[in-house]
Amino acid sequence: MTDRIHNFSAGPAVLPEPVLRKAQEATWNVAGSGIGIMEHSHRGKVFDRIIDEAVANCRTLAGIPDDYSVLFLQGGASLQFSMIPMNLLPADRTADYLLTGVWAQKAVKEAKILGGKVHIAASSEATNFDRIPATDEIAYSPSPAYVHLTTNNTIYGTQWRSEPAVPAGVPIVADTSSDMYSRPIDVRKYGVIYAGAQKNLGPSGVVLVIIRNDLVEAGPKTLPTLLQYRTFAADKSLYNTPPTLGIYLMGEVFKWIAAQGGLAAMAEHNAAKAKLLYDFIDSSEFFRGTVQQDSRSLMNVTFRGPTEELENMFIAEATKRGLDGLKGHRSAGGMRASIYNACPRAAVEALVKFMKEFEQAHRAAAARS
């Protein structure tokens, strides 16, 4: 069997090794039941305990208040781009969006398809999304129904350091797919938090939604049943068959984060890894970062080389060295190292070591370019 290599993929992404070991066991026999997790009825007592424990651990990690529901949905974060305006954007109101990358653009597109009134309150598109908009660049519409932002931008490598100030009483709706539970989060500042699991929380196929209960009931009851948040809140995410394996694994990731010391310890771990990589990039005469320093993501580090030819060579040689997933998104080019919660420091150390060697070996070719 081939040993595991270092996985820098943007998603589906690296999972904690102890969680993968638990998955191996649970696939065969979960909780001593004699049945694998993928075979268990979602209406049975075994799965009841699994989902209740996952919800409880999710709440404990972030101190989620009782007046918020924790839901496990399907359809990816992309379906939330539609469900949010369906449920929270009345025909006579406007929703404000903060535009910081491709996924924010897709969220705007879905809101417009549904006929919603959308206002772009700020955008960094003019500089190819190389930064988070400054506070004085944000101009909200009068009394928006909600303000939507993408907390971390996987493609361009930017991240909000903190929540932007919004008009009083206006809920923040946040797509946190690529940095959820990578650091402490004050849930009270948000109306809705949603995250596709496949970057920091678990496998693909399950979406975590944390939603304030008054907003659960805000959606029109004329919506299709599976597009109403109240459907899932009323039935504990079990209205229809949920992604049982994904929920089990997310629950195990919550336990793993707690065992690392919780969200504060996770933030320290992630900041140290990112600093190691950014410090080398900043000192290099060969590689360069693509994001303004005060907007840099701790989850997705994007960088370029002297030429596309050398970048392609770097990616190919890195893959041979067991450093996989470093090719940048097709719309951004270059390289990208995704260093989510489960990415160990040893992986970043191995990457920096290889970058140093590659720079030394190809410095002359770069000088000629």
Residue 323 sits in a domain whose CATH number is 3.90.1150.10
- Inter-residue contact 78 to 106 (CB < 8 Å): yes
Pick the catalytic residue: 175, 179, 256, 273? Answer: 175
Domain end point (choices 233, 259, 285): 259
Local structure of 208: helix, strand or coil: strand
The whole-number pLDDT of residue 233 equals: 98
Do the domain assignments include residue 127? yes
Whether 154 and 267 map to the same domain: the answer is no
Active site residue 175: yes
Whether 246 and 266 map to the same domain: the answer is no
Cα distance between residue 192 and residue 84, in whole Å: 9
Give residue 344's identity as a one-letter amino acid code.
P
Whether 230 and 109 map to the same domain: the answer is yes
Pick the catalytic residue: 22, 103, 160, 327? Answer: 103
Whether 278 and 241 map to the same domain: the answer is no
Whether 196 and 308 map to the same domain: the answer is no
Active site residue 199: yes
Whether 336 and 281 map to the same domain: the answer is yes
Do the domain assignments include residue 2? no
Q: What is the pLDDT along the chain (369 residues), one digit of tens a residue?
A: 358 999 999 999 999 999 999 999 999 999 999 999 999 999 999 999 999 999 999 999 999 999 999 999 999 999 999 999 999 999 999 999 999 999 999 999 999 998 889 999 999 999 999 999 999 999 999 999 999 999 999 999 999 999 999 999 999 999 999 999 999 999 999 999 999 999 999 999 999 999 999 999 999 999 999 999 999 999 999 999 999 999 999 999 999 999 999 999 999 999 999 999 999 999 999 999 999 999 999 999 999 999 999 999 999 999 999 999 999 999 899 999 999 999 999 999 999 999 999 999 998 776 666
Whether 61 and 197 map to the same domain: the answer is yes
**Domain interval for residue 190:** 18-259
Instruction: Spell out where 8-125 has E strands.
Output: 68-73, 94-99, 117-123
Q: What is the value of pTM for the model shown?
A: 0.96
CA 294 to chain centre: 19
Residue 257, both tokens? 């984060």
Q: What percent of the chain has pLDDT over 90?
A: 96
Cis peptide before 12 (omega within 30 of 0): yes
Whether 99 and 229 map to the same domain: the answer is yes
Instruction: Spell out where the chain has E strands.
Output: 6-7, 68-73, 94-99, 117-123, 147-150, 152-153, 158-159, 172-175, 192-196, 207-212, 288-289, 300-304, 323-324, 335-338
Whether 23 and 159 map to the same domain: the answer is yes
Give residue 84's identity as a one-letter amino acid code.
I
Pick the catalytic residue: 199, 256, 273, 327? Answer: 199
